[in-house]
Structure 1
Amino acid sequence: MNVTLTALGFIVFGYALGSLPFSIWVTRLFIGTDVRDGGSGHATATNAIRQAGWVAGVVVFVLDIAKGFLPTYLASQYGDVAWVVPLTAAFAVAGHNWPVWAGFRGGMGLAVTGGSLLAVYPVGFFAGVGLLIALVLIIKHGARATFIGAFLFAPLMWLLGAEMQVVWQTAAISLVLAIRFATDWNRKYRELWLDRE
Structure 2
Amino acid sequence: MTDPLRWLAIGFAGYLIGSLPFAVWVGRVAARKDVREAGSGHAGATNVMRQAGWLAGLVTLALDGSKGVMAVLLAHWAGGPWAIPLAAGMAVAGHCWPVLAGFRGGMGMATAAGAVLAAHPLALVMAVGVGAACNLGLRHTARANLLTGLLIGPILVVAGVPSLAAQIAIAVGAVVALRGLSDWDRVYRELWLDRDPPIPRQG
Q: Same fold (TM over 0.5)?
A: yes
Alignment of 1:168-179 (within 5 A): 168-179=167-178
Give the deviation of 1:171 after TM superposition. Answer: 1.6
Once residues 29 and 13 of structure 1 are traced to their aligned partners in structure 2, the CA distance between those partners, rounded to angstroms, is 26
2:124 corresponds to: 125
Larger Rg: 2
Q: In structure 2, what residue type is equivalent to 1:30?
A: A
Q: 3-state DSSP class of the match of 1:183?
A: helix
Partner of 1:53 in structure 2?
53
The amino acid across from 1:33 in the alignment is K
Match of 2:153 in 1: 154
Q: Which structure 2 segments of 5+ residues have no match?
A: 189-203
Number of the residue aligned with 1:99? 98
Percent identity between the two aligned chains: 43
C-alpha displacement of 1:142 = 1.9
Spell out, residue by residue over 1:37-86, the C-alpha distance to the aligned partner (whole angstroms, 9 max, x if none).
Answer: 10001101111111111111111111001001111123124424x43111
Contact kept, 8 Å, 2:18 with 2:95, in 1: the verdict is: yes
Residue in structure 2 matched with residue 195 of structure 1 by the alignment: none
Matches within 5 A, 1:19-168: 19-80=19-80, 82-168=81-167
Larger helix proportion of the pair: 2
Larger relative contact order (C-alpha < 8 A, sep ≥ 6)? 1
Q: How big is each residue's C-alpha offset from its partner over 1:131-153, in whole Å with a ceiling of 9 and x where there is no partner? A: 11112111221221221121111
Which structure 1 residue ranges, 5 or more long, are not aligned? 189-197
Question: 3-state DSSP class of the match of 1:83?
Answer: helix
Alpha-carbon distance between aligned partners in 1 of 2:76 and 2:120, rounded to the nearest angstrom: 11
Q: Structure 1 CA distance, aligned partners of 2:43 and 2:63?
A: 13
Give the secondary structure class of the aligned counterpart of 1:42: coil
Give the drift of 1:17.
0.8
> 1:45 and 1:116 mapped to 2: Cα distance?
16
Q: In structure 1, give the amino acid aligned to 2:157.
A: W
* Structure 2 CA distance for aligned equivalents of residues 101 and 94 of structure 1: 12
Partners of 1:59 and 1:119 in 2: CA distance = 18
RMSD value over aligned CA atoms? 1.7
- One-letter amino acid matched to 1:50: R
User: Hey, what's the Cα distance between the residues in 1 that align with 2:7 and 2:26?
Assistant: 31
Q: Structure 1 length as normaliser, TM-score? A: 0.88
Q: Could you say which residue in structure 1 is the equivalent of 2:11?
A: 11
**Structure 1 CA distance for aligned equivalents of residues 154 and 132 of structure 2:** 17
Task: Look up the SS of the partner of 1:105 in the other structure.
Answer: coil
How far does residue 111 in structure 1 lie from its aligned partner after superposition? 0.1
What is the DSSP-based 3-state SS (H/G/I as helix, E as strand, rest coil) of the residue aligned with 1:184? helix
SS of residue matched to 1:29: helix
Separation in structure 2 between the aligned mates of residue 108 and residue 149 of structure 1, nearest angstrom = 12
